[in-house]
Amino acid sequence: MTAVSGHGPWPGGERDVLEVQQLALGELAELPTGVDGVPFLTQLPERGAGADALGRTAVLLAEMPVELGPHGWKLTERPGADARRAEAFWREDLGALAVAAHGHVGPIAVELLGPWTLAAQLWSARGDRVLADVGARADLALALADSVRTLVSDIVTQVPGAEVTVQLAEPLLGQVHAGVLPTFSGFSRLRSVAGPEIVGGLEPVLAAVRDAGARSVVHLGGTWVGVPPVVLAGADTLGLDLADVGPGGWNEQAWELIARAVERGVGLWAGLPPAQISQCAGPALGQLADLVGVPWRRIGLPAAQLAEVTLLAAPRRSLGSLDEHRAELANLGRVAESLAEKAEA
């Protein structure tokens, strides 16, 4: 059955945590018949330092304290005030989820940064990216793995009927592999990380997700070249923003990789942009459906397997309004309904 979910970031301040979580779950409960909603833990980055994706993930790292420095989040000997604030945000978010999802039985998704994007954005105590230190980035992956186990347990404690899906955001994986990320000075680039190392960095985190009884999604943004290592590392599902893969969602090389993954039993979470809106015709939902359905048929994948695709809104440059987010979920529900019909044809 086609499904709809989300990444997590929504607009709102500190007093809006429960309201936003309830809104997101409410929209997913009102999807068309035949479309599943995958509730997700909402994030409110407008609350400030520690509510951002990097801070939220870094503060969970087992035995690797962090603080917010002049250039961003970095490793340190003891956590700073911003880290403690980030921990408080987590407690608020999980508490809001417990209230909003009371009695829920079924999937719940939570998003963290994946090990490579985390290593690319987090600074070491010595001043360069953690990515620059082979040993430090290996320690980071292991610490993230431990954190995942704890987080899944915490979610199940708050929502006893939860079947957790951990979505690991890896939008920088392609840049890590290509060796284009600048050093601290900006005068040179960090060395590229080879494919087998990419796989090795993902494996302990994905294994931890499995060990915790959860399912994994590795979302690559538009970086389709990351599909092979994600599959080899053992991800249950890969995520891609299809509008960024190529014009009209089509890129033959990318879709060949997607097809091979699907044929191996790996699922697809397809990120779609906001629908273009016409004053006369309303949102152009057919265009969004075509971003998935047309390349799917063109590459030769069975139409029936469209029913196994999960749709979610691609990340925005700006958060927008609550009404826009609610409208996106409703639109994705109608797109998912169209794909489900194509799957039955």
From 25, 81, 20, 19, select the one nearest 55 (Cα to Cα): 81
Cα distance between residue 42 and residue 32, in whole Å: 22
Residue with tokens 């609610």: 326
pLDDT (0 to 100) of residue 186: 77
Beta bridge pairs of residue 215: 165
pLDDT (0 to 100) of residue 248: 85
From 212, 219, 329, select the one nearest 274 (Cα to Cα): 329
pLDDT (0 to 100) of residue 280: 62
Please report, for the chain, the start and end positions of each structural domain, with discontinuous segments joined by +.
3-41+102-344
Q: pLDDT of the chain along its 345 residues, tens only? A: 899 999 989 999 888 999 999 999 999 999 999 999 999 999 999 999 999 999 999 999 988 999 998 889 999 998 889 999 999 999 999 999 999 999 999 999 999 999 999 999 999 988 799 999 999 999 999 999 999 999 999 999 999 999 999 999 999 999 999 999 998 877 889 999 999 999 999 999 999 999 999 999 999 999 999 999 999 999 999 999 999 998 888 999 999 999 999 999 999 999 999 988 766 656 889 999 999 999 999 999 999 999 999 999 998 878 889 999 999 999 999 999 999 999 987
pLDDT (0 to 100) of residue 108: 98
What does DSSP assign to residue 266?
-
What separation in angstroms does the CA of 78 have from each of 5, 46, 126, 144? 36, 25, 15, 18
Sign of CA dihedral 293, 298, 303, 307: negative
Residue with tokens 């979470």: 269
pLDDT (0 to 100) of residue 318: 85
Cα distance between residue 13 and residue 97, in whole Å: 16
CATH annotation of 3-41+102-344: 3.20.20.210
The one-letter amino acid code at 226 reads G
Cα distance between residue 146 and residue 20, in whole Å: 29
Cβ contact 75:69 at 8 Å: no
